[in-house]
Structure 1
């Protein structure tokens, strides 16, 4: 049950013995709040890294796991509205609980005494920030889409419930999920399996079920990425994508899930996309480098106000995607970006400035000075600022942002009992199994049985995935296998032909496309993505060298599509059996059962033919279901 009245919030505050009792006893009236305080509520800060001193070379890479006094002071003095946490901030239950309580205590000591939005990208599947061995992360949205034909919205609702139940005891009250982009482009580098599929009605239904489940449990959901990121071939972390859809197609495909969920489920937040939609807004801007370009949705009043507010009737909080992404930062200074997105109608600017060491902290003061000046000059209208502030306050009143438990000890105990518990791990495995899709052969009868093979060769993207599948096969099989493996990260595959010759059966897996910055965290990983791209190219070359060797030696072969199933069009021809899992992640220890390796447990049981495969492809794969 949600705590939706001010009296209820005050009652929670009275019984919170560790956080200040006044933390929830706030006056929401904009007339009593300064312009600067309202602007502070409209900022959501990234505290991923923090160094006590400015790094001599390069960026700070020290994870912020405890709240430094100077950052607590910023939250307090500027009445900051929210923060976003990343994997680097989240190590153990005790540490996460204490960090979030310290953040809320800092907000509780501010003049407004408004609790913080403490947010996270815990979508499940590819994008999960909590350690997979600690929290239940599931197989992701496209896996849920694969279960729709047999199970309807069952798994969407179950995943939403579990995500909320595990995040709230940690003190995290806002989840940037679900992703409701309609993935109609097989070349999409950043969405693909983060989408439920390519059918907008099904995306709407599944996204609505997940939204409702999270919000009924007390977790604020944030739909993303408005007005739709499903038909792009550019990652907005790295550039500015453009969607050339007609108005008719935009309304029937891209906007449909947003429209339906707004009508039916009142989502707390909607996140913007750094993406150009010329049919919605063909106005231009001049970038900081002097280039004339079409305005992206995040900075477009026509899209955020005219379409989202007026056409779709959305009255909740609009939050930008991260403003450090190249889709914005490449073309605007951070101050320009925040001023323009607020003028366009966004309520909250996500990650507006870097605050990674003491030398950068003044950037927040400079930003707020500039925003206050923009209000005084009329670039941001005062009436719209007050209305935006009221939307933020209304959302903070609607949900119990502070933890229900009254002490650190009780909160930690509740989290320990909830995160990754047996029931949640059972749901995690159930989804992985229900999603698993047999794409080839077309009949249930396979041309071989794995149980009749003694020597298996696993060709996998890396050693941890080979280890996860080998451990699961040994765990679920009554017979012992001799398992050899080839990692596609190996630089020397000179023994591959001999390894293939010695095997009774080959199981190969591939992950396509390569990881995006969304998978690994964001723009602070820009250097690492270059290394990932180079490694991915080597893996692809290695894999495409090995596939003909398997065929030449006429070995029984199972191909596992471990991410977006579009790669089946390319590699399915080499295999007798083709399975799609839509997920590839392993936990920190890949060999452990019921602790974050559910995809590989489901694959092992499927390979051993221990359950019927009922998953169906939720997207079109050329040559198979087109």
Structure 2
């Protein structure tokens, strides 16, 4: 630390009342460092030929943390490969910053965005939206909070409170609770409470809303063109409710919001005029979020290396503009995966210092950001860490992360979320006789493995008769005579559909099954399987594995259900509970209770709704479920 190292609050327990004095005694370098949060996803040590996942603390990374006085780091799956290793890594990271301990952050949303390779994955937000139980959202937050805390991680970049009201959204989809802002708000607040009650910092994202976009900001710059009134009533509502409920942190979105800021810049990518994205907008961050909506917590950018920002603004300018707009922390401001690449962080660091020196970023604003950061670090116990021996930390984490109680709860949530959309002639549940043949068709091998294991486990528990299982993955493939023969030889056919964004071949209001274009495999193959199974009078069920909108491609199927999660079985574990929950429903072991958290438009008549918001069938009575 700069200034007087024995100043009040440095050596002894720090309280919020100590923060002004700490900030006053900090150097500009120390203040700027608190506002930068790089990743060390991969690291190439000196003398080594290539970078590998950074899983073990080393003196090179420690030197960068110390030299730039970093306030935090973000971890990815490459960093958290097992429980003991993760505890040792976070412990090592904190040892590199003893005076002002780090924010150690991660994206552990639950569902399809999870990083821990030994943790509880949970069914994800849209599954919680289908289950409609606030207690499940709270439980999810509590489980994530317990597991991350035990590992030495203190910030979760979740929940996403984006309102997914665009079926063509390529990046949010099942990461959203619902298309209904009220339901998103209720479940979001409960997840925040579950996290924060475990002393875990919760972060709502992606402000001011990434739900109604058709572009993924990892690859391009999305535009949300609605007027202020509509934005306040839908996109902004869950964020306002989260602020009112006391959420700790807010993550920005790299989306253009012209209703609040239509300032233009010249893109460095192609010289075209573009509108400023929210992340870099003073009108959105300071005017809307801080002044109008009243948020005085910590604001962090989404990753600044995403193409929406990096391509159009350049590394240094993007970080300066973000901090100038009123954000407190620039996330992933520069790529640093070796000492040779340290120059990237040096360049950004110096650019921010120059902007402060020139008054472009006012020093008073920097002091406010650093105060917010340190206030939150005090509030969540980060500045006053417990002096627990590393062996005790590891022992505790091994008992917490992915434990049986957490797995049991995630199974129950996933089963209650399964949404039955069609069940003509009581096709479900399947009731196979001994040695009947079950064919599984799904896009990827891990999904096949998850389904076949789940069926075998039901047989082992004597819930169903022993059956013969054949599986085939069809990613990128065309429907062939060989697949037709597999269906001919089967008694039951389970087909998984995984479509991020509907793109079938539609001619004159009809899906054209004659088109076997390889780019359309995600729609064409499962439709061909459905049609052949129907022709041969086979028992057939279509399971939507990701965004439920894809069921509109299979109107002719007799049995259809949505599970809201596509990750299968790999590396000795189920990566999500959703597929096993779907199998449990198909064979009558669990009763689906889910109702749609979004409306599903028709593919052939896009202006019409095929399945309404809140629709779901009871498997026994065949009636719609009332919630």
Partner of 2:32: 39
Contact 1:147/1:614 (8 A) holds in 2: yes
| 2:473 aligned partner | 487
Q: How far 1:601 moved relative to its partner?
A: 2.6
Q: SS of the residue aligned with 2:52?
A: coil
1:473 to 1:597, Cα distance in 2 relative to 1, 3 A: farther
What are the equivalent positions in structure 2 for 1:492-531 lying under 5 Å apart? 493-513=480-500
Say if 2:281 and 2:322, in contact at 8 Å, map to a contact too: yes
Q: Please give the residue correspondences for 1:462-477 in structure 2 after superposition, counting only pairs within 5 Å.
A: 462-477=444-459
More helix by share: 1
Change beyond 3 A, Cα 1:309–1:382: same
Q: 1:495 to 1:137 in 2, by over 3 A?
A: same
User: What is the root-mean-square deviation of aligned Cα atoms in Å?
Assistant: 2.5
Q: Indicate how the Cα distance of structure 1 residues 27 and 381 shifts in structure 2: closer, same or farther if over 3 A, else same.
A: closer
Q: Is 1:598 aligned to residue 577 of structure 2?
A: yes
Say yes or no: does 1:123 pair with 2:106: no
Q: Which string of whole-angstrom CA distances, capped at 9 and with x for unpartnered residues, describes residues 476-517 of structure 1?
A: 1331011112211375844111111111111100112179xx
Report the CA distance between 1:136 and its aligned residue.
Answer: 0.4
> Is the CA contact (8 Å cut-off) linking 1:509 and 1:559 kept in structure 2?
yes
Alignment partner, residue 414 of structure 2: 432
d(CA) in 1 for partners of 2:35 and 2:364?
A: 15
Q: Which one of the candidate residues 306, 321, 331 is aligned to 1:325?
A: 306
Residue 536 of structure 1: how far off its partner (Å): 7.3
1:51-103 residue CA offsets vs partner (Å, 9 max, x unmatched): 124998xxx54111112312101111221000000000111212111111111
After superposing the two structures, state which structure 1 stretch, 289-298 or 222-231, moved more: 289-298
Q: How does 1:439-450 map to 2 (within 5 A)?
A: 439-441=421-423, 445-446=426-427, 449-450=430-431
Query: Corresponding residue for 2:71?
Result: 81
**CA distance in 1: counterparts of 2:575 and 2:266, whole angstroms:** 47
User: How far has the Cα of 1:598 moved from its partner?
Assistant: 2.3
Whether 1:369 aligns to 2:362 is: no
Would the aligned equivalents of 2:164 and 2:179 in 1 still touch at CA under 8 Å?
Answer: yes
Look up the match of 2:553: 570
Residues 306 and 556 (structure 1), Cα distance of their counterparts in 2 relative to 1, 3 Å cut? same
Q: Tell me whether 1:283 sits opposite 2:272 in the alignment.
A: no
2:586 alignment counterpart: 607
Taking the aligned partners of 1:617 and 1:403, their CA distance within structure 2 comes to 44
Distance 1:29 1:50 in 2: 33
Equivalent-residue separation in structure 1 for 2:285 and 2:61 (angstroms): 31
Runs of 5+ in structure 1 lacking a partner?
A: 1-5, 14-24, 516-533
1:96 is aligned to 2:86 = yes
What residue number does 2:565 align with? 583
User: Is contact 2:184–2:238 with CA below 8 Å preserved after alignment?
Assistant: yes
Instruction: Give the distance between the partners of 1:258 and 1:484, measured in 2 at CA.
Output: 47
Match of residue 292 from structure 1: 273
Residue aligned with 1:66, SS:
coil
- Shift of residue 228, structure 1, vs aligned partner: 0.1
Question: Within 5 Å, which residues of 2 pair with 1:199-238?
Answer: 199-238=180-219
Structure 2: distance between partners of 1:116 and 1:358: 21
Change (3 A) 1:54 1:355: farther
CA–CA distance in structure 1, aligned partners of residues 519 and 389 of structure 2: 47
Moved more, 43-52 or 358-367: 358-367
Deviation at 1:460, TM superposition (A): 1.0
Alignment of 1:333-372 (within 5 A): 333-372=314-353
2:600 paired residue number? 621
Partner of 1:461: 443
What is the distance in 2 between the residues matched to 1:224 and 1:490? 33
Quote the Cα distance in structure 2 between the aligned partners of 1:410 and 1:485. 44
**1:28 offset after TM fit, Å?**
5.3
**Mapped contact 1:450–1:607 kept (Cα < 8 A):** no
The separation in 2 between residues aligned to 1:208 and 1:28, in whole angstroms, is 34
Structure 1 442/375 Cα, relative in aligned 2: closer, same or farther at 3 Å? farther
**CA positional deviation for 1:600:** 3.0
Higher relative contact order (CA 8 A, sep 6+): 1
Task: Give the distance between the partners of 1:420 and 1:9, measured in 2 at CA.
Answer: 37
- State the secondary structure of the residue aligned to 2:313: coil
Query: Which stretch of the first structure deviates more once superposed, 434-443 or 477-486?
Result: 434-443
Per-residue CA shift, 1:587-606, capped at 9, x if unaligned?
A: 4346x6xx545223312221
Match of 2:388 in 1: 406
Cα deviation 1:516-556 (Å, max 9, x = unaligned): xxxxxxxxxxxxxxxxxx99754444334433222222222
Residues 416-447 of structure 1, C-alpha deviations (whole Å, 9 max, x = no match): 0001111101111011101011111379x446
Q: Is the 8 A contact 1:556 1:575 kept in 2?
A: no
Contact persistence 1:188–1:232 (CA under 8 A): yes
Aligned residues: 575
SS of equivalent to 2:439: strand
CA drift at 1:37: 1.1
Alpha-carbon distance between aligned partners in 1 of 2:9 and 2:552, rounded to the nearest angstrom:
55
Residue in 2 aligned with 1:531?
Answer: none
- Asked whether the 8 Å contact 2:123–2:564 carries over to 1, the reply is yes
Give the TM-score of the pair, scaled to structure 1: 0.87
Aligned partner of 1:137 in structure 2 is: 121
Q: C-alpha deviations, 1:213-240, integer Å up to 9, x for none?
A: 1011100011000000000010000000
User: Deviation at 1:405?
Assistant: 6.0
Gaps of 5+ in 2: 1-6, 503-516, 602-609, 614-627
Cα distance, 1:30 vs structure 2: 2.1
Secondary structure at the aligned position of 1:310 is classed as: helix
Superposed displacement of residue 339, structure 1: 0.5
Gap change, CA 1:40 and 1:490, over 3 Å in 2: closer
